[in-house]
């Protein structure tokens, strides 16, 4: 079927174009987070970064994680960040470094050397290996012998069957973190008196 085939190729190049658009947005907002002087605007760039990352997840076929990314990061973590920015009086930061010239040069040289090395290593990955095949499907088998192929079902079965202990431990960790955060952030009455 030649018509199907051309449609397929156009679909793939459309996916690639979308990928480069999202990559551009992601890199731009990451740079904005790091290099903007005003922390409020950094936080807004971080929102755009998270939303772009959710779009990227949806593009490469992890729809559940895209949803969770928006819910957890944009819905919960960013609200927390903006709330703390509101509580804390902020002034704009100047970029004058307390380091000496030699220290700064050493840090920049080391970082860029590591960056180049890692980039060269990454470019050794051959294209064509581990391609993101949109038709690729994950499967798992239930105890009853039934095959499950829906990605959401496979992930939830894995989570609640194979990683149940890790899941429970994560919930315990979150509880401890919430209690700890309240204890750390609350006013110390005895120190005041």
Partner 1 sequence: MNVQDFLSVREIAVLAFVLFTIGVVGVVTRRNLIVILMSVELMLNSVNLLFVAFSRGFNDTTGQLTVLFVMAIAAAESAIGLALIIALFRNTRSVMTDAAQELKDS
Alpha carbon of 160 to those of 66, 154, 157, 164, 165: distances in Å? 20, 10, 5, 5, 9
| Angle 137-142-148 from CA coordinates, rounded to 5° | 25
**What's the closest the beta carbon of residue 105 comes to partner 1, in angstroms?**
13
Q: Which is nearer to partner 1, 86 or 144 (CB)?
A: 86
* Residue 67 within binding range of partner 1, rule CB under 8 A: no
> Residue 29 has which token pair?
């907002």
CA gap 26, 59 in Å, rounded: 14
- CB 139 → partner 1: shortest distance, Å? 9
Site for partner 1 in 111-140 (CB under 8 A): 111, 115, 118-119, 122-123, 125-133, 136-138
Min dist. Cβ of residue 145 to partner 1 (A): 20
Element (H, E) at 140: strand 140-141
Q: Is 147 in the site for partner 1 (CB under 8 A)?
A: no
- Shortest Å distance, C-beta 72 to partner 1: 5
Q: What angle do CA 99, 40, 38 make, to 5 degrees?
A: 40
Q: Of these, 95, 100, 144, 190, which contacts partner 1 (CB under 8 A)?
A: 95
């Amino acid at each position: 079927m030649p018509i199907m085939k051309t449609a397929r190729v156009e679909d793939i190049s459309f996916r690639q174009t979308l990928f480069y658009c999202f990559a551009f947005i992601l890199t731009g907002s990451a740079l904005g987070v790091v290099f903007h002087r005003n922390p409020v605007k950094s936080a807004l760039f971080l929102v755009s970064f998270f939303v772009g990352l959710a779009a990227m997840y949806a593009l490469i076929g992890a729809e559940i994680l895209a949803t969770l990314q928006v819910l957890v990061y944009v819905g919960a973590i960013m609200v927390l960040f903006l709330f703390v920015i509101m509580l804390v009086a902020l002034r704009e930061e100047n970029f004058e470094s307390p380091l000496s010239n030699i220290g700064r040069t050493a840090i920049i040289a080391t970082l860029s050397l590591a960056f180049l090395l890692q980039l060269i290593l990454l470019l050794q990955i051959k294209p064509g290996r581990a391609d993101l095949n949109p038709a690729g499907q994950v499967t798992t088998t239930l105890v009853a012998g039934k095959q499950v192929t829906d990605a959401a079902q496979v992930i939830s079965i894995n989570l609640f069957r194979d990683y149940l202990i890790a899941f429970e431990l994560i919930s315990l960790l979150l509880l401890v973190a919430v209690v700890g955060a309240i204890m750390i952030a609350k006013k110390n009455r005895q120190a005041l008196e």
